[in-house]
Structure 1
Amino acid sequence: MTSTIRQFSRRHWLKLCLSFVVLILVVLSVPMLRASDKTADYPPPAPAKDDSYFGANIQRTMTLLATSTPKHRHRVRILFYGQSITKQEWWLEVEKDLRQRFPNADLQIENRAIGGFASPVLIRTAEHDLYPFYPDLLIFHVYGPEPEYESIIANVRRRTTSEIAFHSDHITWLPTGTFLDDKEKVNGYQWHDSHSTEWLPQIAQKYGSELIEIREPWKQYLKDNWLKPKDLLSDDAHLNDRGNFLLGSLVKRQLRYNPKFPTDSWKDLVKTYVVGKDVKWKNGKLVLEFEGNRVDVIAAKSTDSKSHQGRILIDGKPPSQFPELYTITRPSQAIGVDWPAIIQVSWEKPLIIEDWTARITEINEDASQFKFEVRGSKTGFDGSEVSDRKFVSNSGRVVIEPDNWWLKNSYEYSRQPIPKGFEVKWQVLPMFVDEYVVPKVEDSSQEYLTTLAQNLSNAKHTLEIIPNEKGILPIQSIRVYRPPLVAKE
């Protein structure tokens, strides 16, 4: 049975994604609203039969939230990522709940989900959206082939210290068990059942992630309230108000703090070195040998009115000399849809901080063929090409594979032509500072944190902070992030 289901999966997700493309217009055309007060009218889901394990794999994040106080507000970054289901209003209810339960935490919450982007596409946009954001907690869901799904999870574990909570698939249809059932719907139901109840638990265990199981609670909710799957849907897949209420409720209850859980899996992933205790000024500079791929500095609780600055060296070099410490933002949208016009831009030669524009110089009606030129704000004109060829710019700072252009896909979805002269824009931003400028501390309860270097090789490094003037810089601590060592698949 499992083998048959796996063989079916790739054909199934393709059809599912096509249906999402047709149906998502309804979802995307409605402005995103704050969580509806209508949720108070719906009965809550039944309590979980066993909730003793809830939150077991996200306790670093939950500890930061729960131990925040008015005098010490921990900074916590949370990212929602996935497809159109993740974009729906339920995530706003989760955000609202976290802010109410943990009012002292310095919460930074974003949703960067992209409707209709299954795992083979989302894995490419993740290079711009996910890993550079480096959340403390990733709340994730995506449809699509399982190998690409796993690759995203593995990349998060390899490139960040983020904890991961992903949820299983909700119920869109239930078989009757009779000859009246549509065979293709039965196959789809069985694939989602196998994916949710067999494959996802294996991935959660393999990568130490939190699995929020919603499939069985969803069935129970339907049974308890005499509902059919369509009663929680706005179409064949997307959630209506009640469906959003249910998904939000099931996610919220698993984001739980429990100090009795073991800390072995996360306590050494992020370490904070207190200046004057764990690391000391010596010979006019602060030196720390560390292992990891990111290092932050936190300013002292109080500083004088003077301007304090210092040079940063990693392994004897300014961070700007490490090519991997630059990031490319998500390219701007196509027309008629909130999809990026290019789903991934990469590079072959070291980047510099600048703005980029790809301009369409010729294009046919359905955007299947076009010509374009690329220009950087500092590099200048950097080459031109046709859309069906790999583009490597003259400087090597821009690489675009033909299948990463998303203009034809956007036209097929929106039916809005892409005009000649249309521009796609992105930026190259630093994930480093060569010179640390101590920020002015206006609220001593907050952490004034500056990332000195992010996306280093996950290995041993030496950090040096050298004041520009005599004396020491007002630094409270240095924080080091070491992602779990997960072998590449």
Structure 2
Amino acid sequence: MKKLLLGFSLVLSLAHSVCAEESPEWPVPENPALVHPGRYLTRSMALITESSPQQRNTVRVLFYGQSITAQWSWPVQEYLKRSYPDVDFVFAHRAIGGFGAEYLVRTAPTDINSFYPDLMIFHDYTRVPEPYEAIIRQALENTTTDILLTNDHPTLPAQLEDEETQMQSKRFARILQHNRVFLPDLCERYQIEFADILSPWKQYLHRNQIEPQALLRDVVHLNDWGIFVMRHLIQDYLQYQPDFADPSVWNEKVKTYKLGQDLAWQGDRLELEFEGNKIDLVAGINEGNTSGIEIYIDGRKPSELLGTTAFTRASAYPGTWWPAVLRVSSETPPVVEDWSLRIFDYNEELTDFKFEVTGSVTGADGIGSSGERFVSKSGRVVIEPEDWSKLARARSMTKEAPPEDFRITWKAVAHCADLFQAPAVSDYVSETLVVAAQGFEPGKHTLTLVARDSDSAESLAAIRIYNPSLPEME
């Protein structure tokens, strides 16, 4: 097991050594079966391809999944940066090695919702349909992201055989059903981009007369050559398809209201009825010394709404990169602070224990036990029993007891602003965005802005509303 942990560390180090440059030793893979690649990435790829030196777009890209995603995500990031230098990219690498979908479904609300991507690139080896679909569904219900989902690369020589032959094996039939049926169907139902890696990977192996192991570092992780192949196959899908672009659909999901064009101040007030769960305020040209604009949603300050202050991922169990507790949520709005959870009275296997939580602002907030749902005295911390499900596994893998005074930490961070004070802006080349509120309950709301003076009112150029929605399904 320690070797496996060391493998995780190796993957992390490899992730930072970008090895996606062209090499005369490695033929570039081809994918002749591509049909309209990027058809479900039209909003994010339009933002990317239409960005220019005169008007740079900000695009948030999230890589999610397991350790293999952590390997190839960095070369894909470098490809995007190199290919589109006029984009203001914001990247997040939040893959967790050894986490199947049954665990990622617990961490996803923290990892995906808080980042609120424009594009999410996702792969997970778990072949359990329910949590896999739940991750996709919750991402689309809570953000306006485009999603690119890949299937698996082959790792065994038997996977190069005729697929009818493979179907005679229970093991390989399950793999094929996942890659050939479940994932394509999932992508079509939710209208997300399906990147078929399995087919061109097999063609690449046949064409170059090599075995799957030639592209692998161990039984599944990629070596430099494998990362090179994976990066090329994924980038083939990162294309803009204008024939499938429908701006009217984008405007329902992400709509920008320009001051003086779509909206106007009524004295010192501006009201906008909207539907969604995120508001960005776009700063106009100003010197950055205004008194500010007060922000209210349904008559309340954004910081008073549940969800606008959110938790970061909890710290990892020592010796792993697994969050010690999968998810921490709230019943009442958190405040910005640091949290600490101390485990005590635990058994050797770390399957049964007690814990106490303390906030740097809230103070001591209650004692709980691993087998029961915990709601802190303030209601700011909620932990479900299933969110301890990886802790004993981490203890078993490391074969080491937790350190004395073992503490798990996380932060409550604000994704909101009660007062908009525009940063100084001298041109419109890059947008200057301030998140007014993010993560509150989706639905119909009323935004009210109150300018403290005329200069403050003039410092606001636009309001952008994000409204997540699932595609209509039959």
TM over 0.5: yes
Residue 461 of structure 2 corresponds to which residue in structure 1?
476
From 83, 87, 90, the counterpart of 1:105: 87
Residue 461 of structure 1 corresponds to which residue in structure 2?
445
C-alpha distance in 2, partners of 1:394/1:148?
A: 31
**Structure 1 residues 314, 412: CA separation in 2 closer, same or farther (over 3 Å shift)?**
same
**Structure 1 residues 457, 393: CA separation in 2 closer, same or farther (over 3 Å shift)?**
closer
Residue 26 of structure 1 corresponds to which residue in structure 2?
7
Deviations 1:294-352 (Å, cap 9, x if unpaired)? 1111001x213533411001122211222132211101111001111111112233322
Deviations 1:423-445 (Å, cap 9, x if unpaired)? 11111222221111111226642
From 260, 265, 290, the counterpart of 1:276: 260
**Structure 1 residues 470, 444: CA separation in 2 closer, same or farther (over 3 Å shift)?**
closer
1:447 aligns with 2:431: yes
1:139 aligns with 2:121: yes
Q: Percent identity?
A: 37
Greater mean alpha carbon deviation, residues 230-239 or residues 404-413 = 404-413
Residue 116 of structure 1 corresponds to which residue in structure 2?
98
**Structure 1 residues 475, 40: CA separation in 2 closer, same or farther (over 3 Å shift)?**
same
From 173, 184, 187, the counterpart of 2:156: 173
**Structure 1 residues 108, 173: CA separation in 2 closer, same or farther (over 3 Å shift)?**
same
Q: CA deviation at 1:132?
A: 1.4
User: Tell me, what secondary structure is at the counterpart of 2:115?
Assistant: coil
**Structure 1 residues 46, 358: CA separation in 2 closer, same or farther (over 3 Å shift)?**
closer
C-alpha distance in 2, partners of 1:35/1:228?
A: 24
Equivalent position amino acid for 1:91 in 2 = S
1:94 aligns with 2:76: yes
C-alpha distance in 1, partners of 2:299/2:37?
A: 45
Residue 156 of structure 1 corresponds to which residue in structure 2?
139
User: Tell me, what secondary structure is at the counterpart of 2:280?
Assistant: strand
From 400, 407, 415, the counterpart of 1:416: 400
- What does 1:290-369 align with in structure 2 at a 5 Å threshold? 290-300=274-284, 302-369=285-352
User: Tell me, what secondary structure is at the counterpart of 2:243?
Assistant: coil
Q: CA deviation at 1:176?
A: 8.0
TM-score by length of 1: 0.89
Cα-Cα RMSD? 2.5
**Structure 1 residues 488, 216: CA separation in 2 closer, same or farther (over 3 Å shift)?**
closer
C-alpha distance in 2, partners of 1:458/1:305?
A: 32
**Could you tell me whether the CA contact under 8 Å between 1:342 and 1:407 is conserved in 2?**
yes
**Could you tell me whether the CA contact under 8 Å between 2:20 and 2:75 is conserved in 1?**
no
Equivalent position amino acid for 1:85 in 2 = I
- What does 1:196-215 align with in structure 2 at a 5 Å threshold? 196-215=179-198
C-alpha distance in 2, partners of 1:203/1:176?
A: 23
User: Tell me, what secondary structure is at the counterpart of 1:282?
Assistant: coil
**Could you tell me whether the CA contact under 8 Å between 2:20 and 2:231 is conserved in 1?**
no
In structure 2, list runs of 5 or more residues that go unmatched. none
**Could you tell me whether the CA contact under 8 Å between 2:68 and 2:97 is conserved in 1?**
yes
C-alpha distance in 2, partners of 1:469/1:107?
A: 34
**Structure 1 residues 287, 79: CA separation in 2 closer, same or farther (over 3 Å shift)?**
same
Q: CA deviation at 1:158?
A: 1.0
Greater mean alpha carbon deviation, residues 73-82 or residues 390-399 = 390-399
Residue 248 of structure 1 corresponds to which residue in structure 2?
231
C-alpha distance in 1, partners of 2:243/2:159?
A: 43
Equivalent position amino acid for 1:93 in 2 = P
Q: CA deviation at 1:473?
A: 3.5
C-alpha distance in 2, partners of 1:358/1:85?
A: 31
1:234 aligns with 2:217: yes
Deviations 1:193-222 (Å, cap 9, x if unpaired)? 111111111111111100000111011001
Q: CA deviation at 1:45?
A: 4.3
Deviations 1:340-390 (Å, cap 9, x if unpaired)? 111111223332222110012343443233332111112111122333333
**Could you tell me whether the CA contact under 8 Å between 2:109 and 2:138 is conserved in 1?**
no
Q: CA deviation at 1:266?
A: 3.2
**Could you tell me whether the CA contact under 8 Å between 2:306 and 2:440 is conserved in 1?**
no
C-alpha distance in 2, partners of 1:52/1:38?
A: 26
User: Tell me, what secondary structure is at the counterpart of 1:219?
Assistant: helix
Q: CA deviation at 1:42?
A: 4.0
C-alpha distance in 2, partners of 1:52/1:177?
A: 23
**Could you tell me whether the CA contact under 8 Å between 1:175 and 1:186 is conserved in 2?**
no
In structure 1, list runs of 5 or more residues that go unmatched. 1-18
From 121, 125, 131, the counterpart of 2:107: 125
From 357, 364, 381, the counterpart of 1:374: 357
TM-score by length of 2: 0.92
Equivalent position amino acid for 2:185 in 1 = Q
**Structure 1 residues 42, 191: CA separation in 2 closer, same or farther (over 3 Å shift)?**
farther
C-alpha distance in 2, partners of 1:183/1:197?
A: 13
Deviations 1:24-50 (Å, cap 9, x if unpaired)? 531424523231267514433443224
